Amino acid sequence: MKNITIVLLLVLSIALGALAVHQQKRSAQAQAELVSAQNQLKAVADAADQIASAKRSSKMLQDSLTETSKFADEQTKQAGLLQQKLAAQTNSSNPLAGMAKMFNDPKMKELIKTRQKAVMGPMIDKQYAALFKQLNMSPEESAQLKTLLVNKMLAGADAGMAMMDDSVDAAKRAELTRQMKAATDEYDAQIKQFLGDGYPAYQNYEKTVPDRMEVSQFGDQLSGDNSLSPDQQSQLIQAMSDARTGFKWTTDYSDKNPPNGDYAAMFSAEKIDQFTKEKEQFDQQFLEQAKKILTPAQLAQFEQYQASQRQMQIMGMKMAGQMFAPKGR
């Protein structure tokens, strides 16, 4: 989570993609409910009171569908604007180089930050709920900590965007990296002051957040009899955290930023290839542990989930390697 450069890349895609998908789901759900209400209306044509009730339900659902469709259209337009601006940069040897220039537009910069917050808010509510409960925090205290966590995740966002510009040299990247670290450390200090004696519990919990997110995303793909039970979720999170800590990584990208800003070396083809091999090995080993926790049906879906997540992760690293590669390569 502290690898701010990667977080920025992921959040930009998540912020636009997740919101668009979310709105599409809302539209589809509203459409389905509308059709159902209309069918009910025909089925009870001989009952005046039921007809009236169904009409009211249909009208409410129609209004909801219209409102949701308008919002989805707006999100589509905004996503289209972003895509147009990115397409304008295709002549560059670095396909993401123009993003920094694009973010110099105050309106675009504000749009991206708004989308980042829109994604991070619900994510923190879900992933840190257990910590809020563990620390016996009131709603007001939880809200305060949530604000600090969002600010910490967004700390150094401007510096991170600036690093996407291929005209930035190694010395400038090193300085931008120091700025991001300083901004993140400042919010860490505020969290420590706010939590007091509860800060060690927060630090321990933070180490499990990536695994909590992974288990949560996997659980969201399951439904019905295949759904993860709370006990399965807890066991899977703990087992994944223990396995990741105990694995002998030679190339590990978790919780790291190069202190000298040398992202080109960090995302070299050699290191990415080595990490790919180790990640495949780790995933295969963890499947054996997952067998003790998941049902056969759940395990089959988890193996597919592992593969898709691994492919996305490697793809993101290769994009970063291309973005930070020295000029002329």
pLDDT mean for each 10 residues of the chain (329 residues): 44 45 48 49 45 47 47 50 50 52 68 78 90 95 94 76 68 80 90 96 92 92 91 94 89 64 79 92 94 95 93 85 65
Separation CA 38–CA 35 (nearest Å): 5
Alpha helices in 128-168 (DSSP H): 129-134, 139-154, 157-162
**pLDDT value, residue 287:** 94
Secondary structure (3-state) at 253 = coil
Residue 8 has a pLDDT of 44
Separation between Cα atoms, residue 184 and residue 159, nearest integer Å: 12
* Cβ-contact 37, 57 below 8 angstroms: yes
Would you state the pLDDT for residue 89?
46
Can you give the pTM of this predicted structure?
A: 0.64
Q: How many CA atoms lie within 13 A of 285 on its CB side?
A: 14
Q: Where are the alpha helices (DSSP H) in the chain?
A: 4-43, 48-87, 98-102, 106-127, 129-134, 139-154, 157-162, 170-195, 199-220, 230-246, 263-266, 269-290, 296-324
Angle of CA points 28, 29, 35, to nearest 5°: 90
245: exposed, middle or buried (C-beta count within 10 Å: 0-12, 13-18, 19+)?
A: exposed
- Residue 201: what pLDDT? 96
